[in-house]
Amino acid sequence: MKVTETDVDEDEVIYVNGPNDTEVRGETKILVSDLKEVVTMKHENDMYEVEFKSLPHGLKHPHKASNLPQNLQLNRFKTTFPYDHSRVILKKEQNDSTDYINANFIDGVRNQKAYIATQGPKTITLEDFWRMTWQNKCGKIIMLANLVEVGKVKCTTYWTGSDGGPLELGLFQVTLQEETEYAFYTIRKLSVKSKQTNSRRQVIQYHFTRWPDHGVPEPFELLQFYKRVKSGHTDLKGPLIVHCSAGIGRTGSYIAMDALLLEGVSSREIDVFAYVEKMRKDRMNMIQTAKQYEMLHFIVLEGLNVVTTSMSKTDLCRVITDMLEGGIPRQQYEVLNAEKPEYKTTDFETALKNKNKNRNQAILAVEKYKTRLMSTTSGYINAVNIPAYRTPYGYILTQHPMDNTTTDFLSLIAQERSDTVVSIGTLQNKPSWPTTKGARTKFGNFLVTTVQCDYHSVGSERVEEKQLAIENKETGTDTQITLFETPSWGMSLPESSFMLELIQVIQCRRGMDAASVIITCRRDQYVFCYKLVKDYLEANTVYANV
């Protein structure tokens, strides 16, 4: 079905969060050292809704330019307008040029015009968007919406032509030089040529692809995206362009996150309420929902307390050595445990209704992350989705199947079309897969046949590799998988050489879309991960494909 772009769209009704008569009084500034306590208290007392509704709402300042007849069609939504006092005014480079674009300059906590908040470009505003980018010497663009969401156009493609070639505009030519996709975001390097001066600039677009429609993103995912943006280099010193669809909700959330994290690091105190209020003086309704406002607190908390750094391979090897000697990974593990979310009983509702399907009642699948099993009424299996570096659904973490969950486990494999299963260690009460070539074992409606058996040894460690054919007698469907089992890996940890060999074997065997089923880790395994990375980097000529 073809999705078309309307001239001017209705405002998104999900963002109706009108004001109330409550005012936030007293001090709203928070010390970073007190942030976790304050964030937890506000969550427990439902204070985010109250604070959010006390923010100035709607159009509060003159916006005459946006309502001029010639400019109305340049707005994506009917009532989302830029204020006159802070709007980005374009230089007229041709006689028929307009000086109008639906965009505002937004100040940081301490610096002026640090950001440009704008709507997602429309077909008729493509050239205006690039005029704004060029005239303000902007080197980075943050995109927070997808082109189409729930059947509605949210933004027009502004980085390439319809045929994949350069985007030819009156004053500019935009060429996509490089596009790299990751689990949560895509990075596009663009070459922008001014046809007037015949000069070129490189602009980097950072596209966050995991902001759910009508919801808020995972703080971890948005933070990883944010850190990638911050680590990117540009010689252009203009404002950071941030846009979603309307340029106020997700856009306001991202700008506030960036500004407050910078302020928290430099001054060790932040004022979320005051900064959102400040943004709304320059663009209407920045941050559109109470959920976005609440998320902002949690993401700033995590960003200020869990610090990560990007570095070169050489530096990383040296730093890991120093960290291991100083016991830093164990300290990090404690910090991660301290910062993990506090879940309520309702967060484990399905898991608690299916207690007999959990091997350990202390390790349950959280509602928002659990893998839904389509073949059962409850839909429950103790499994969660984990992203890979490049894809959002790279892995599924689950427990060893029990006698009463073996058919669920096999259903999961078939449902997710996984061609690689990794079983770490040996436990009692696990299913007895057929062990010799040609042997068969029946589990409910499933018939499992061993097609091939092999093993790999590194020192005293052993990996058993089985090619299994799984036939569902009820549906008539067949699934082929490679099962890797590590019976020698018990309570003690293996040698790094063994683990690297295992990873190498798995990477060579697995398909591009496979989901590997593995087990969660304990604290000593967290330290082991550091050792493994160090050993891999120092021996990457041997394990070049890992």
Cβ atoms 461, 488 nearer than 8 A: yes
Strand partners, 240: 115
- Burial class of residue 331 (count of CB atoms within 10 Å of its CB; 0-12, 13-18, 19+): exposed
Residue 462 has φ and ψ, to the nearest 5°, of: -140, 135
Alpha-carbon distance 303 to 309, whole Å?
12
Closest C-alpha among 311, 312, 308 to residue 328 = 308
Phi-psi region of 143 (alpha: psi -120 to 50; beta: other; left: phi over 0): beta
How many CB atoms sit inside 10 A of residue 293's CB? 24
Residue 284: partners with Cβ closer than 8 Å, 6 or more residues away = 58, 59, 60, 80, 81, 83, 248
Residue 441 has φ and ψ, to the nearest 5°, of: -140, 140
Q: Which helix (H) or strand (E) holds 40?
A: helix 35-44
Alpha-carbon distance 90 to 100, whole Å?
6
Instruction: Label each residue of 22-34 as H, E or C.
Output: CCCCCCCCEEHHH
Cβ atoms 127, 169 nearer than 8 A: yes
Strand partners, 269: 31
| Residue written as token pair 């893998």 | 371
Q: Rounded to the nearest 5 degrees, what angle is found at the Cα of 258, between the Cα atoms of 255 and 260?
A: 105
Cβ atoms 380, 357 nearer than 8 A: yes
**Catalytic residue check, 138:** no
Q: Rounded to the nearest 5 degrees, what angle is found at the Cα of 85, between the Cα atoms of 81 and 87?
A: 50
How many CB atoms sit inside 10 A of residue 410's CB? 25
Instruction: Label each residue of 64-80 as H, E or C.
Output: CHHHCCCCHHHCCECCC
Closest C-alpha among 189, 259, 274 to residue 226 = 259
Cβ atoms 225, 126 nearer than 8 A: no
Instruction: Label each residue of 305-341 as H, E or C.
Output: HCCCCCCCHHHHHHHHHHHHHHCHHHHHHHHHHHHCC
Tell how many helices (H) and how many strands (E) occur in the chain: 13, 20
Q: Which of 244, 317, 508, 521 is catalytic?
A: 244
Cβ atoms 420, 510 nearer than 8 A: yes
Closest C-alpha among 466, 516, 524 to residue 491 = 524
Instruction: Label each residue of 380-434 as H, E or C.
Output: CCCEEEECCCCCCCCEEEECCCCCCCHHHHHHHHHHHCCCEEEEECCCCCCCCCC
| Catalytic residue positions, numbered | 244
